């Protein structure tokens, strides 16, 4: 956003070069030469590529093998070898705001998700940009591509509105199989997390789905549907845009029965050791620089070595399920790639892979279920109550892996989903496909944003973003197209003066170049602005406000501009307003759990002896 100079789109550049000669194009040497090498040819002279946008739900920055994770993800690792990985790609810290920007290219406070619909504050209700659904001030990339000769398909999570004029079918998707809400059971029982809509609503081709098939598992079904849609639409030779919005690995942690033991005992050692190993691999891969530190373990979390072995195994079990969900998704993405290879379309498909927000460290089930006696509590007790060590992962259970493992998934960053430290908003990004130069490389220079994806897809498809759509004015794109960068002309679509902004639940942040300011409710921040240098300190551990007061001031001025440009209304209530009271100031009184002697838990027999006074040791 906020580019000082207007950039020419590929189409404008080709036109300018053709009419007035190369001198008026003022493009880079590489862009000019691409005119002659063929990568920048006008639409009519080249085949428009298929566009495949794959989104994971709540997956962490460092989970994939190609980002340093120990989870087995050969398909995405291979995609990274064929394409380019980016280390500075940003999303919103929660689901629906990211999706609003992903599909419209403009800020979430304009697109209708200024706040999540489920969590609107009283002073935001009824205000423009706070509809809680994708509003009519924006047009989706699906509508524009559909109107310009693309088939448009979606399978997976929508989370941008339930009513007939708000669903994927009404917002540009010719065919869809969609979960309309934020998340729930991954199986055919379809329990929603949210008691207000007890069963998850799904649509297929715009019509409500009455019953899911008995063997339904989210990731598998969305993959089947994507392949089916592409297959049924390919006769006419039109290119496709497919949006695969997986719900993995969003809670509840559910995996097909034959995947339940896939990572058995792989996480018994606990989070600290796994996190250290990830960090080391990330440095070896060049994802993070040698010589920088990762964020400290969050102040309210115990060292994993202080846990009794049986407790470590029980908590590691949750990470086993999470890892299995991620690998299963990777495996299913492989099915789509295999299918595209079989029909000869793989090499003509631009693939973009991202996660929609940071890994989930909040107790979502707790937030939804609330306290005993509430409807949410009854709903959770009734449908997600069986959560023993041997049951989790199966239908009817609700497990999440909690903040300690979320921190592992977000190595080396601080915090996680819902918050504006980079642990909430940094995502992996892999881009591959025709014209993408630099196979296997890492790009660490470009600071990219999820709003960039719409202008990128439109430029690949040679479609202009309009000022009006169906007679109504639509908000302009704020993102920057990556096509010039992908084709090797530039390192980044943004210059040193460009910046990005965020606000949700009253927390705020601005990033410009190496610098970031953020404002968080206590105890996640200090209820005031803090200044960080992300290049030296990606874990946001050192507040440089006192050392660089001028820089802090400059970035606060950008925040004011962000509020003005996007109509931000700080909520009168925030889900984080009580966090200071809810979280302890430090690791709760003991470091060992359960109470241990040395590293041994107290055996039950010993406990009985202690209780009966037969022993005092």
Active site residues: 95, 159
User: Tokens 């493009």 sit at which residue?
Assistant: 27
Name the segment binding Ca ion (CB under 5 A); options: 49-57, 165-173, 323-331, 526-534.
Answer: 49-57
Q: Nearest approach, Cβ of 96 to Ca ion (angstroms)? A: 8
User: Tokens 């196979």 sit at which residue?
Assistant: 439
Number of residues that bind Ca ion (CB under 5 A): 5
User: Partners of 187 in the beta sheet?
Assistant: 217
Name the segment binding Ca ion (CB under 5 A); options: 54-62, 130-138, 407-415, 426-434.
Answer: 54-62
Q: Nearest approach, Cβ of 547 to Ca ion (angstroms)? A: 35
User: Sign (positive/negative) of CA torsion 335, 338, 342, 343?
Assistant: positive
Q: Nearest approach, Cβ of 159 to Ca ion (angstroms)? A: 8
Pick between residue 95 and residue 399 the one whose CB is nearest to Ca ion: 95
Pick between residue 57 and residue 480 the one whose CB is nearest to Ca ion: 57
Q: Should residue 95 be labelled a site residue for Ca ion when binding is judged by CB under 5 A?
A: yes
Pick between residue 58 and residue 107 the one whose CB is nearest to Ca ion: 58
State the DSSP string of 540-597. Answer: -----TTT-HHHHHHHHHHHHHHHHHHT----SS-TTTTHHHHS-SSS-S-SSBS-EE
Distance (Å, whole) CA 449 – CA 500: 8
Per CB under 5 A, contacts with Ca ion among 501-560 are: none
For the beta carbon of residue 565, count every other beta carbon within 10 angstroms.
15
Task: Give yes or no for a contact between 78 and 330, defined as CB atoms under 8 angstroms apart.
Answer: no
Task: Give yes or no for a contact between 414 and 424, defined as CB atoms under 8 angstroms apart.
Answer: no
Name the segment binding Ca ion (CB under 5 A); options: 55-63, 491-499, 508-516, 599-607.
Answer: 55-63
Q: Nearest approach, Cβ of 357 to Ca ion (angstroms)? A: 5
Q: Should residue 91 be labelled a site residue for Ca ion when binding is judged by CB under 5 A?
A: no
Per CB under 5 A, contacts with Ca ion among 147-206 are: none
Q: Nearest approach, Cβ of 248 to Ca ion (angstroms)? A: 11
- Residues 62, 106, 223, 357: which binds Ca ion (CB under 5 A)? 357
Pick between residue 356 and residue 503 the one whose CB is nearest to Ca ion: 356
- CA dist list (Å): 523 to 415, 515, 582: 11, 22, 10
Distance (Å, whole) CA 269 – CA 331: 26
Assign 183 to helix, strand or coil. coil
Q: Nearest approach, Cβ of 57 to Ca ion (angstroms)? A: 4
Distance (Å, whole) CA 198 – CA 185: 11
Q: Nearest approach, Cβ of 356 to Ca ion (angstroms)? A: 4
Q: Should residue 116 be labelled a site residue for Ca ion when binding is judged by CB under 5 A?
A: no
Contacts 24+ apart (CB under 8 A), 178-184: 178/154, 178/202, 178/203, 178/204, 178/245, 179/218, 179/247, 182/95, 182/96, 182/118, 182/157, 183/57, 183/95, 183/157, 183/247, 183/250, 183/251, 184/252
Pick between residue 73 and residue 357 the one whose CB is nearest to Ca ion: 357
Q: Nearest approach, Cβ of 299 to Ca ion (angstroms)? A: 25
Using CB under 5 A as the criterion, what x/- string covers residues 453-482 for binding Ca ion? ------------------------------
- Residues 9, 58, 221, 449: which binds Ca ion (CB under 5 A)? 58
Per CB under 5 A, contacts with Ca ion among 11-40 are: none
State the DSSP string of 444-478. Answer: -S--EEGGGHHHHHHHHTT-PPPSEETTEE-PPP-
Name the segment binding Ca ion (CB under 5 A); options: 95-103, 157-165, 379-387, 563-571.
Answer: 95-103
Helices (H), 133-288: 141-147, 218-233, 271-285
Pick between residue 67 and residue 240 the one whose CB is nearest to Ca ion: 67
Q: Should residue 50 be labelled a site residue for Ca ion when binding is judged by CB under 5 A?
A: no
Q: Nearest approach, Cβ of 97 to Ca ion (angstroms)? A: 10
Strands 529-533 and 515-519: antiparallel
Distance (Å, whole) CA 298 – CA 296: 6
Q: Should residue 100 be labelled a site residue for Ca ion when binding is judged by CB under 5 A?
A: no
By the 10 Å C-beta count (0-12 exposed, 13-18 middle, 19+ buried), 291 is classed as exposed
Name the segment binding Ca ion (CB under 5 A); options: 92-100, 156-164, 278-286, 397-405.
Answer: 92-100
Q: Should residue 422 be labelled a site residue for Ca ion when binding is judged by CB under 5 A?
A: no
Q: Should residue 400 be labelled a site residue for Ca ion when binding is judged by CB under 5 A?
A: no
Pick between residue 421 and residue 463 the one whose CB is nearest to Ca ion: 421
- Tokens representing 411 are 């190595």
- Tokens representing 376 are 């949410």
Distance (Å, whole) CA 175 – CA 167: 11
Name the segment binding Ca ion (CB under 5 A); options: 80-88, 90-98, 315-323, 603-611.
Answer: 90-98
- CA dist list (Å): 328 to 73, 325, 354, 364, 472: 9, 5, 16, 23, 43
Nearest residue to Ca ion, scored by beta-carbon proximity:
95
Q: Nearest approach, Cβ of 603 to Ca ion (angstroms)? A: 42
Pick between residue 251 and residue 316 the one whose CB is nearest to Ca ion: 251
Beta strands in 120-258, from DSSP E residues, in sequence order: 151-157, 175-179, 202-204, 207-208, 240-245
Pick between residue 144 and residue 253 the one whose CB is nearest to Ca ion: 253
Q: Should residue 356 be labelled a site residue for Ca ion when binding is judged by CB under 5 A?
A: yes
Name the segment binding Ca ion (CB under 5 A); options: 60-68, 162-170, 357-365, 604-612.
Answer: 357-365
Examine residue 594 and say whether the peptide bond preceding it is cis (omega within 30 degrees of 0).
yes
Q: Nearest approach, Cβ of 59 to Ca ion (angstroms)? A: 8
Burial 72-89 (b: 16+ CB within 10 A, else e): bbebbbbbbebbbbbbbb
Task: Give yes or no for a contact between 435 and 30, defined as CB atoms under 8 angstroms apart.
Answer: no
How far from the centroid of its chain's Cα atoms is residue 150's Cα? 25
Pick between residue 95 and residue 110 the one whose CB is nearest to Ca ion: 95
Please report, to the nearest 10 degrees, the dihedral formed by the alpha carbons of residues 552, 557, 563, 566 taken in order. Answer: -110
Q: Nearest approach, Cβ of 182 to Ca ion (angstroms)? A: 8
Pick between residue 364 and residue 408 the one whose CB is nearest to Ca ion: 364
Can you state the percent helix, strand and coil of the chain, rounding each to 5? Answer: 35, 15, 50
- Residues 57, 268, 272, 537: which binds Ca ion (CB under 5 A)? 57
Name the segment binding Ca ion (CB under 5 A); options: 58-66, 82-90, 362-370, 386-394.
Answer: 58-66
Residues that bind Ca ion (CB under 5 A): 57-58, 95, 356-357
């Amino acid at each position: 956003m906020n580019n000082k100079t207007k950039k020419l789109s590929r189409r404008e550049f080709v036109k300018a070069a053709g009419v007035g000669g190369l001198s008026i194009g003022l493009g880079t040497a590489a862009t000019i030469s691409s005119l002659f090498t063929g990568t920048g040819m006008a639409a009519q002279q080249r085949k428009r590529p298929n566009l495949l946008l794959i989104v994971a739900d709540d997956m962490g920055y460092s989970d994939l093998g190609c980002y340093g994770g120990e989870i087995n993800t050969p398909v995405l690792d291979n995609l990274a070898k064929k394409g380019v990985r980016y280390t500075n790609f940003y999303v919103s810290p929660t689901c629906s705001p990211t999706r609003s920007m992903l599909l419209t290219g403009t800020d979430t406070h304009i697109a209708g998700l200024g706040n999540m619909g489920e969590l609107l504050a009283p002073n935001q209700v009824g205000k423009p940009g706070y509809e809680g659904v994708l509003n009519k001030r924006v047009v989706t990339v699906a509508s524009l591509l559909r109107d310009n000769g693309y088939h448009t398909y979606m399978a997976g999570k929508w989370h941008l509105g339930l009513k007939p004029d708000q669903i994927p079918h009404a917002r540009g998707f010719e065919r869809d199989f969609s979960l309309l809400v934020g998340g729930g059971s991954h199986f055919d029982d379809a329990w929603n997390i949210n008691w207000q809509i007890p069963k998850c609503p799904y649509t297929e081709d715009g019509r409500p789905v009455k019953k899911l098939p008995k063997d339904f598992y989210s990731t598998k079904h969305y993959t089947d549907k994507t392949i089916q849609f592409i297959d049924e639409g390919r006769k006419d030779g039109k290119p496709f845009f497919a949006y695969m919005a997986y719900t993995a690995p969003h809670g509840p942690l559910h995996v097909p029965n034959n995947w339940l033991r896939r990572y058995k005992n792989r996480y018994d050692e606990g989070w600290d050791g796994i996190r250290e190993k990830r960090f080391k691999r990330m440095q070896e891969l060049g994802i993070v620089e040698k010589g920088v530190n990762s964020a400290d373990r969050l102040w309210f979390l115990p060292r994993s070595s202080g846990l009794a072995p049986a407790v470590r195994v029980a908590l590691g079990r949750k990470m086993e399920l999470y890892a299995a969900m991620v690998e299963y998704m990777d495996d299913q993405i492989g099915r789509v790639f295999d299918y595209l290879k079989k029909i000869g379309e793989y090499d003509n498909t631009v693939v973009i892979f991202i996660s929609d927000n940071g890994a989930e460290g909040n107790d979502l089930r707790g937030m939804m279920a609330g306290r005993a006696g509430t409807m949410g509590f009854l709903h959770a007790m009734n449908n997600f109550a069986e959560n023993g060590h041997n049951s989790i992962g199966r239908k009817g259970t609700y497990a999440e892996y909690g903040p300690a493992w979320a921190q592992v998934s977000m190595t080396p960053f601080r915090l996680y989903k819902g918050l504006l430290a980079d642990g909430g908003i940094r995502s992996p990004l892999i881009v591959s496909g025709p014209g993408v130069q630099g196979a296997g490389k890492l790009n660490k220079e470009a600071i990219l944003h999820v709003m960039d994806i719409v202008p990128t897809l439109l430029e690949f498809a040679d479609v202009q973003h309009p000022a009006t759509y169906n007679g109504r004015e639509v908000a302009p794109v704020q993102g920057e197209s990556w096509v010039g960068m992908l084709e090797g002309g530039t390192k980044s679509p943004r210059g040193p003066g460009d910046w990005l902004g965020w606000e949700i639940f009253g927390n705020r942040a601005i990033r410009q170049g190496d610098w970031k300011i953020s404002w968080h409710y206590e105890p996640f921040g200090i209820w005031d602005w803090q200044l960080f240098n992300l290049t030296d300190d990606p874990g946001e551990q050192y507040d440089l406000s006192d050392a660089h007061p001028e820089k802090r001031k400059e970035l606060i001025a950008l925040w004011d501009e962000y509020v003005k440009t996007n109509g931000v209304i700080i909520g009168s209530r925030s889900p984080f307003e009580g966090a200071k009271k809810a979280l302890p100031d430090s690791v709760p009184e003991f470091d060992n759990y359960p109470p241990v002697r040395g590293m041994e838990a107290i055996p039950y027999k010993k406990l009985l002896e202690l209780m009966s006074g037969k022993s005092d040791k």
